[in-house]
A and B are shown apart, each in its own frame.
Chain A
């Protein structure tokens, strides 16, 4: 709704802000048109469902990142955190098979563990940076290394594989669907809606905006700045845990290379969506579109021979830079003079 309001406000002050809100959406439509032109198969149900399912991982994590970034922080540890949580889930579930058997209970315990670990890992990031008064960039750079090495340690340098029978029970969480919509997509949607409500309609969300735009003003407005900031990292941790819960049944394994660079993809999705990296302004729907865009690019490159698939990263990087350039609005000012 805030994007709606933005565009209303913008009709009153020229059409410039309008573009800002709609920009990512238009770009996504552009990508879809491009995809269709390149290959008919692009618009097939299978392919689309594939795009959205893959977008769900990064998207769910990016919803959390939107909170952190809006409140003026940054979390670089999400990829390692995801790897660590998957590793821990697999180890615990495999151990439980002996006592509880490979049933729903085992999976549920794994899921609860994941949530607890996500909350704890987020709280560590938040508390260390607020109470210790250390830049979030530094703290999460540190925990990024810690979580990553923990999973390497648990896997003894190799790969942790989920018990085959548990995998069978757990499988529908990734591969299942409800009314034809894949479960990950539904979860992604639910997380996005919850994130939107929390960020835009609650006092908590308002406080995130306030802290991100000026921490001093927030402090003088009787806001518990440290508490709110810590909570944004906890939300981030929760989102990572939800993404991991969906991810584990997909591959059924975890290793030191799980989730590598996810933090950058998540941040990229947030920024492409129009959230400001310096804080104070965040858009959940933008983030959702950003995440879908990133996966769509990869998908299109898969469908065409024109550009090598190995250049996926280059194209994504280019899109990020162009998106931010368009949103900065500088190009328009230059033109209008």
Chain B
């Protein structure tokens, strides 16, 4: 193949959401030659869609809040499958990172005494989410983007990375991809690489995720030999829109419930009171009166069951619909109209108002919304070392949704945005340290690059009946129906078979048109990662024979204490996809006591 465009950097960050931006800012701040690569335009990454807020124990609204309580909430929400060290660092560092955003220009909503206001969210004991109305992700990404621009970081927009490249020593050395505008290839050599590619939700039919969330980072890390953990831990958000069909799956922020909204079934009943699990019984209100008092007085009342962790609420909604008590379009009702004034709703939830008004013709200040579970967030992913964000491949780092560990089996709302800035920064530091101390200059193998590109370009010339859209469609149907919110052995086995067939079909898809800005071809190059990651999710789900957090098995409805102590680790060994149980890191006693009741 002829010479291709190539670039040399100290640190290449793949992904320009909150995590990637924060990592690049750190590396650039260290004076390293830093590149930031993303599939979309700068500022459009998934982070922009985050609504409710970023969790940090600032203690501005409840002075009794502190990192210990945040740590506890995160671990309990994650059903203790979390990497304790990540949860500790996250709880300790989130407040500094939020304050840092403010010093970079972010304008958060304020308390009456002028500090950053915090809102209530599920699973958080205190009002903890720093926010800007319901567009917190936009504020975060714009602040970081403007900071990156001010620092003159090299940005490669609409550039899709296909594969990571290691050198003879096994160190991460570069990456290869193409420009979407022209379809021309581009390669990078790098002393260290940070993956910040976000989520995997695009493989489900009903999802809050954008076209970008195809799990490229998880797949590329896996192909490069890195470990993936907890791949079965997929979060279904309890409240997605269910109607009209064209917006089915679109997120309805948990902020609606945090601000007073309640869930009702077709009989008008607040059914969440029937689904309070043992683990949270002591801290959850059991009468409507107590739940309603809680909004104004957290100290003397327990929280409403609508604000249980997401896995609990999603399962409960699912059960109500199954029992025939759903709404006309197969969801349940989320009602804030009868509970808060129109003025309050407009101020607190402006984009939800807008979204329902314009897309569903529903006025949320006078009518209830119809909502149901939707695929939302990937807790599992690339295994990282807590302090440095290093993966198990030398020179490769990962942060944000693509990395695993912090959230365990279930993520609390608001803990992702804070994750991005805490571990984005740490990944930037880890990668910078590695780049500075690296032995030997990175080199990439041109023959390997040629092979990767040849494979990527193959669908363009090929004759064949299958379009990449058909394969994507069938994958989404498969994952939705067989690897969805409630799972069972026979269906998972069937899913694994089907994914195998889809992989064969994906190898034969043909695409019309040329390379220049061709979405059909772009999708064809996303399919290998979607399929690899889907397979890993199904395999993990099959092997975890228990229910824990986001992973629910019909045939094993209870958590299994023995399985609660292991991660399922997936890796390629001599070309073979393996899955092995490995012990979780042990938590020091002084942290373990924080998890007990009363703390």
Q: Do A and B bind each other?
A: no
